[in-house]
Amino acid sequence: MIEKEIRYVVKDQEGLRSLIKDSGAHYIKTKTKHDIYYGNSNMNGAVVRIRISNGKKEIFFKGSVNEKNNLFERIELKGTVVDPNNKLSEVLSELGLRKISENKAVTTYWKLDDVQISISKFTYPTKLEYIEFESESITENWISSKFPGMGSVTKPIDKTTFLEFDRKKQQP
């Protein structure tokens, strides 16, 4: 599957929540996420992610990112893992992958049309809150038509947004 998403840093939480409510988006769920990323220098920016969320463990392959005008595209494959002895990290290590980063967040999800909207509030390795719009058909025009005033409560993600995460990241 090709993952397509547009992200913005949240500047005004209350204003953003008001925009979401006014849009008619439907609340889906809130969950905690603990993500651990694995990679190596041969993966050209692709990573394997283990996500532990509300007692469930998932594994993802996330391909190299193609970014253009705040639209991020990449291959994403996902599966659920039963790992009662917590051996998955060891398996990845045996495959030549090593842990390169880790983060923790609480994420709230909504749905509007065919778009999944999520607000992630990161608590580790640093504090950051961003909103993400994900759909095969997502565009900036769709966002501005459904959420007038988005620019006043958010700012675009740029190269400096994840610097603190990158400082904590280990090179594969």
Domain boundaries, the chain: 2-168
pLDDT at 160: 77
pLDDT at 168: 66
* Sequence-ordered strand ranges (E) for 115-167: 115-124, 128-134, 154-156
Q: Residue 34, exposed/middle/buried by CB under 10 A (0-12, 13-18, 19+)?
A: middle
Which pLDDT score, from 0 to 100, does residue 171 have? 55
Token look-up 């990323």 returns 37
pLDDT < 50: residue spans in the chain: none
pTM over 0.85: yes
Task: Compute CA distances 129 → 15, 41, 105, whole Å.
Answer: 14, 29, 9
pLDDT of residue 132: 96
Give the model confidence (pLDDT) of 126-152 as tens digits.
899 999 999 999 999 999 999 999 999
Tokens of 124: 């580790």
Domain 2-168, CATH? 2.40.320.10
Report pLDDT for 69: 80
The whole-number pLDDT of residue 64 equals 92
Backbone phi, psi, residue 42, to 5°: -90, 0
